[in-house]
Amino acid sequence: MTTEHTWTWADLDDRAVALIEETERTLEADYVVVYRETEDEFDLPAELHLHAKSLDESQLECLRGVEQLVGGVAVAYEAD
């Protein structure tokens, strides 16, 4: 049995938004987006003109720490 996962943007409080903004500066990323799994039907825009930023191990560790603090999946992006 396969389970389909639907993702949406995480609802972040002011503290989490400030943390994400700091993470963008730290990682020199154009954007860090936090996603959460949802049971609702929600389509993320197909074309954001972004691609995942290549990160080294210490940057990935930073992103994993952010994920734990905000309770979602964080992805660092660069604009095309």
Model confidence over 4-31: pLDDT tens digits? Answer: 777 888 899 999 999 999 999 999 999 9
Residue 42 has what pLDDT? 61
Give the ranges where the chain is alpha helix by DSSP (H). Answer: 14-27, 57-70
pTM of this structure: 0.81
Radius of gyration of the chain (CA): 13
Nearest to 14 by CA among 73, 77, 70, 72: 70
**pLDDT bracket for residue 46 (50, 70, 90):** low
The mean of the pLDDT values for the chain is 88
